[in-house]
Amino acid sequence: MNHNGIILMAEGKGPEKTYVPYWEKLAGLHPSEVCDRTEAVYRYDKKGYLLPFLNQRYMVIPEERRIMRTGHDETAGSEALSTDFYLVSLFYLTEAKKVEPTRRWLSEKDLKGGEMFFRGPHALPLTELTEKLGQNPEGFLKVGKRFGGVEMLYGDRAFGLDVFPRIPLVYLLWKGDREFSPRVQVLFDETIQDHFPLDVIWCTVSEVNRRLVGLST
């Protein structure tokens, strides 16, 4: 896969050995420049970046090509991280711009090129979340709040999430009725394409969905 002109290469099977060009680029960037763009925090003692994701924090260590969850006391936690998470975290650290969110929301079809991209195999992967919580608006909101979501007045229920400091999303649920099936929709800040191309946006939603579904079981 090619993201924003950078060819991804894998070495071995683990996600920590995937996306080599991103690791190499991150290792070559000055920490102050990275932190200024992304609002991550560089820890010189650990030679890594503290990166917020949803309501958790992760230590990204370029020299070791490793990402690990860390508590607020900065002790390492155990968590199996997906390749999508590695991709979106590394892409955010290497490519995000110093652009503040406006909190003006767009659907995926309103993004530049989105109407053509987000269809067929690239349709946003919302089916499993809809099946699990589509008839349970209160459960939908509860799961969102467990990831730091803030209730918003859209649909039957909605919540906003800060995925990364400059990447907010809104999740909406219409629970459906006799005529219409339940539907979950994701809205994007109008600045998201300053940071991510469409395929990385897709991977971001995929990773957030995976976590939401995991808490809904």
pLDDT, the chain, mean: 90
Give the separation between CA 213 and CA 126, rounded to whole angstroms.
Answer: 10
For the record, the structure tokens of 84 come out as 């999508």
Give the separation between CA 107 and CA 118, rounded to whole angstroms.
Answer: 10
Burial of 8 (0-12, 13-18, 19+ CB in 10 A): middle
Q: DSSP class of residue 81?
A: P
Q: What pTM did the predictor assign?
A: 0.89
User: CB of 29 within 8 A of CB of 137?
Assistant: no
Residue 156: CB atoms within 10 Å: 16
Does residue 150 have a pLDDT over 60? Answer: yes
Give the separation between CA 192 and CA 207, rounded to whole angstroms.
Answer: 16
- Please report the pLDDT score of residue 111 as a whole number: 98
Residues in CB range of 68: below 8 A, 6 or more apart: 58, 59, 61, 76, 77, 79
Give the separation between CA 162 and CA 177, rounded to whole angstroms.
Answer: 30
Instruction: Give the pairing type, strands 150-151 and 157-164.
Output: antiparallel
Tens of pLDDT, residues 74-103: 555 567 899 999 999 999 999 999 999 999
Q: DSSP class of residue 38?
A: H
- Please report the pLDDT score of residue 78 as a whole number: 60
- Please report the pLDDT score of residue 71 as a whole number: 76
| CATH T-level topology, domain 105-216 | TATA-Binding Protein (3.30.310)
User: CB of 89 within 8 A of CB of 19?
Assistant: no
- Please report the pLDDT score of residue 17 as a whole number: 63
- Please report the pLDDT score of residue 92 as a whole number: 98
List the one residue out of 50, 56, 52 whose CA is nearest residue 146.
56
Residue 86: CB atoms within 10 Å: 24
Give the separation between CA 55 and CA 21, rounded to whole angstroms.
Answer: 28
- Please report the pLDDT score of residue 74 as a whole number: 54
Where does CATH 3.30.310 sit in the chain? 105-216
SS3 152: coil
Percent of the chain residues topping a pLDDT of 70: 88
